[in-house]
Amino acid sequence: MDGTELYRKVILTVSGNKFVKWLSIKYGRKLAGRFIAGDTLDEALDEIERLNEKGILVTLDHLGEGITTLDEAAGYREEYLKLVEGIAKRGVKSNVSLKPTQMGMALDPEKAYENIKLVAKKAKEHRNFVRLDMEDSPYTQATIDMTLRLHQEGLTNVGTVMQAYLFRTEEDVKNLMHAGVNLRLVKGAYKEPGTIAFQQKREVIDNYKKLIKMHLDQGAYVAIASHDDHIIDWVKVFAEQSRIDKQEFEFQMLYGLRMNDQAALAQDGYRIRCYMPYGTMWYPYFTRRLAEKPANLMMVLKNMFK
Ligand SMILES: Cc1cc2nc3c(=O)[nH]c(=O)nc-3n(C[C@H](O)[C@H](O)[C@H](O)COP(=O)(O)OP(=O)(O)OC[C@H]3O[C@@H](n4cnc5c(N)ncnc54)[C@H](O)[C@@H]3O)c2cc1C
């Protein structure tokens, strides 16, 4: 295991500690602010306008995961319906990202399906797109099944995410591409065991490139969600050498990270979409960001001691 992987595992483990969680929730909102567009939908929509002016597209996420009741799931469904309406009313360039567990997948998969279907239908009415984020491995198959089921019901405006660190992903990508599902490709953000996931950075990167290439070679639109210059530069060169138009894929990055570089990509004619979370349930999202990169933690600590 290299230093980065060790760091990632330590942060993900420490952040699960109840005391650390309590302390962070009590004092951390301001620190998390860099990664979150605001507490309310209106604040987020204002921020989308600002990014759109720079040529940056957005995917909007209402924070919330690990819910414990179906009432909470219904509440989030209503928030998402408002979010879809809000995007349409403001006329901003943003689609939607949501987490299946936020809609109840861990409690009652059928109910989650109904909740997500309502959001997808509303989005379809407004010609918008819904991305089902991919969570940890207990939900991989269920999320894929849900995506395919929505497609079978005509809701082809739904896509999902594939994680390059999972051994199974290459096969999943083949199946989903075959079904015409729009995919976001990522390295993977959760702590997964060596029995099901690559543990070495090099292996994840190699698999990531393979998955990207599978799309670009076949002219299948794909979202490449990474802050890694090695991946971004590789995609640029590969696309240019293969005469693939810049409109046939998009880069995605997270809100608060490399914002100047996001604007620069837009300036250079690439499609770039910023994943923008808002809402008050920011803790799990925030800790995954800290786990990704020691520099993110340093940035937050520096702000704390200012
Ligand atoms: C839009 C988006 C959506 C995502 N959705 C999901 C999802 O649904 N499910 C999931 O499991 N994961 C998701 N992720 C997270 C993803 O799986 C990775 O955990 C995360 O993106 C970190 O990997 P990376 O490729 O960005 O770069 P890393 O592996 O974190 O970093 C590699 C290199 O990139 C460069 N780099 C990274 N960050 C910066 C920075 N801030 N400034 C300058 N250089 C930097 C550095 O050179 C670094 O060494 C998503 C990520 C994005 C961007």
Q: Where are the domains of the chain?
A: 36-281
Q: Which atom of ligand 1 is nearest to the CA of 204?
A: 29
Residue nearest to atom 45 of ligand 1 (CA): 227
Residue 187 Cα to ligand 1 middle (Å): 7
Residue 69 Cα to ligand 1 middle (Å): 31
Catalytic annotation, residues: 133, 184
Q: How far does CA 200 lie from the centroid of its chain? A: 22
Distances (CA, A) of 187 to 166, 191, 276: 9, 12, 18
Give residue ranges with CB within 6 A of ligand 1. 133-134, 161, 163, 186-190, 225-229, 252-254, 257-258, 275, 292-293
Query: Which residues sit opposite 77 in a β-bridge?
Result: none
The predicted model scores a pTM of 0.89
User: Per CATH, which fold does 36-281 belong to?
Assistant: TIM Barrel (3.20.20)
Please answer whether residues 142 and 100 qualify as being in contact, where contact means their C-beta atoms are separated by less than 8 angstroms. yes
| Tokens encoding 241 | 């050498």
Dihedral of the alpha carbons of 190, 194, 195, 201, in degrees to the nearest 10 = 80
Mutate to test the pocket of ligand 1, among 63, 131, 187 (most ligand atoms within 8 A of CB): 187
Residues whose CB is less than 8 angstroms from the CB of residue 131 and which lie 6 or more positions away in sequence, other chains included: 59, 95, 96, 97, 98, 158, 159, 160, 161, 182, 184
* pLDDT, tens digit only, all 306 positions of the chain: 566 676 676 666 666 666 556 656 655 666 677 889 998 999 999 999 999 999 999 999 999 877 899 999 999 999 999 999 999 999 999 999 999 999 999 999 999 999 999 999 999 999 999 999 999 999 999 999 999 999 999 999 999 999 999 999 999 999 999 999 999 999 999 999 999 999 999 999 999 999 999 999 999 999 999 999 999 999 999 999 999 999 999 999 999 999 999 999 999 999 999 999 999 877 777 777 777 766 776 666 665 554
